[in-house]
Amino acid sequence: MLELTALQTDTQTLIDAINMTWVLIVTFLIFFMHAGFAMLEAGQVRSKNVSNQLTKNLLTWSIGVTVFFLIGAGVDSLVGGGGFSPAFGYEAPADWVGWLYGAVFAMTAATIVSGAVAGRAKLRAYVGYTFLLAAVIYPVVSGMAWYDAGLLGIDGAVGSAIGVAFDDFAGGTVVHAMGGIAGLTAAWVLGPRIGRFNDDGSANVIPGHSMTFAVLGTLMLAFGWYGFNVGTSAIFSPENAFLADQLGRVAMTTTIAMACGAMGAGAVAWAKTGKVDTLYVANGLLAGLVGITAIPHATSWGGAFVVGGVCGAQLPVVFSFVEKRLNIDDVCAVFPVHGSAGVIGTLMLPLVVAPSYLGSTSRVDMFLAQFAGVAIIATWTVVTTGLIWGAFRALGQARVSRTHEQEGLDVSEHGVETYPEFGDEGAAVADGGTVRTDGGLANEESQTSSELRSDGGLFDEDFVPAERDMDERSD
């Protein structure tokens, strides 16, 4: 008679093995989102800054994940009430699966910031901020929001005072709103790119170099988002072998909100201009996903339509406000896509919650818990980000020089050119030779003319001599 193996007789062993494998698959999906961020951001910057943006995405992961291993995971545990427990001190190697799962969430928050400060931030400043975000800023947020004993948890000071815990299923505020708010703050401290605004406060368009890359990045992010939301839900347990009800709800609400975000942004853009702007549609799709990320397990199907549509529709409105009223140069629209959309979706939970999830909980108490979480996370993010980037600015290390910005960060920060075949003969070199910038010669003395767009603005800022006043530059 054949003897049964431990795996065949121990149900819990089987459940643990399936869970661990699934968490790793989800982790790999979320990691793949870095490729999406790289394409999306590269498409929205000038061709002279593409390599710089790609390098930032690579270093965000490389530096951030190691810092989270050495410091951040311990801070997360400490703030959550479990004591300082860094990942390198784990006794069971299987626990490193959980560390990696947390790390990909942390690095998503970090990489969002790079899109807001594109085109003028020094690489060393961005890397320094990424280090501190992975070590302290994000772990404090996740620790107080995702642990029962954390500040916002049911056993924490705020959660217990309200009687309801802050509810953020997969990081609508903890990851995305936090990253979007950090990006807006950093962009404000840095100031706008040269020529982005005129002296009277009016804004000039500096178009990205590749709509194709931007849309490709959008779809790659949307694919990875199923790891964020649906992947978080698909867990086995001894009591409930498969959470089919929750899993189905999360898959449905995530997909519906994504679709409605794209339609909402496109509709508002069409109402404002008579055109359906492609980039608004792409970013609206992402805003719909961000909006639902905090609450996909709790909202009704109708709520998914509302949350996705509202978060998409607010995108053109909020972007215009940031641009024209605040005069903040948020290059990749990270605040309206991640910041405001994440906040709106999180706060809408009491309005769209499914009756089965609400139970006996008061909608007022639920809103208070959501509002407290958003307010505390936003305040922490603004203060810490402002202090760090303000310190870099005071030391003269936050922003590249005017000359380097005009040349492009690919040349000044990396000594390379992303598209050398479009330059002059012998232009694309990294050893100090003449390098072509984004539409003309790098040598200032050779920049003697400018080409006008159909709207009267300058087509390429690099055609404009550096000594001209900023009010003579319109792009």
Cα distance between residue 344 and residue 308, in whole Å = 10
Instruction: Please give the pLDDT value at position 235.
Output: 59
Q: Give me the helices (H) in 68-177, please.
A: 73-79, 95-116, 123-132, 138-145, 157-162
**Confidence band of 448 (pLDDT split at 50, 70, 90):** very low
- Distance in angstroms (rounded) separating the CA atoms of residues 108 and 173: 12
For 19, how many CA atoms within 13 A lie in the half-sphere containing its CB?
Answer: 19
Distance CA 426, CA 433 (A): 8
Q: Alpha-carbon dihedral of residues 325, 326, 329, 335, nearest 10 degrees?
A: -100
Predicted local distance difference test score (pLDDT) of residue 247: 85
d(CA 4, CA 80): 41
262 vs 239, residue with greater confidence: 262
Domain ranges of the chain: 12-394, 416-475
**Could you tell me the pTM of the whole model?**
0.86
**pLDDT tens by residue, 60-109:** 999 999 999 999 999 999 999 999 999 999 988 889 999 999 999 999 99
CATH architecture of 12-394: Orthogonal Bundle (1.10)
Token pair for 421: 């075949």
Could you read off the pLDDT of 310-329 as tens digits, one per residue?
Answer: 999 999 999 999 999 999 99
For residue range 210-227, what is the model confidence (pLDDT) as tens digits? Answer: 999 999 999 999 999 999
Cβ atoms of 278 and 211 closer than 8 Å: yes
Task: Give the per-residue pLDDT at 460.
Answer: 43
* Pair 395, 389: CB distance under 8 Å: no
Q: Could you tell me what percent of the chain has a pLDDT over 90? A: 76
Burial, 391: exposed, middle or buried (Cβ in 10 Å; 0-12, 13-18, 19+)? middle
Q: Work out the pLDDT band at 475, boundaries 50, 70, 90.
A: very low
Rounded to an integer, what is the distance from CA 382 to the centroid of its chain? Answer: 15
The per-residue pLDDT for 11 is 74
7 — pLDDT class (breaks 50, 70, 90): low
Of 89-103, 122-136, 260-274, the poorest mean pLDDT is in 89-103
| C-alpha separations of 462 from 65, 412, 452 in Å | 36, 14, 13
Spatial distance between the Cα atoms of 295 and 349, rounded to a whole number of angstroms: 7
Q: To 5 degrees, how large is the angle CA 327–CA 53–CA 137?
A: 70
As a whole number, the mean pLDDT across the chain is 87
Say how far apart CA 431 and CA 419 lie, in whole Å. Answer: 17
Position 359 scores a pLDDT of 87
* CA–CA gap between residue 150 and residue 146 (Å, rounded): 7
User: How many CB atoms are closer than 10 A to CB 14?
Assistant: 14
CB-based contacts of 150: which residues, under 8 Å, 6+ apart?
79, 80, 81, 143, 144, 156, 159
CB contact at 8 A, 380 and 132: no
Mind listing the pLDDT tens digit for each residue in 137-187?
Answer: 999 999 999 999 999 999 999 999 999 999 999 999 999 999 999 999 999
Per residue in 409-419, pLDDT (tens digit) is 999 999 998 88
* Statement: residue 387 has pLDDT above 50: yes
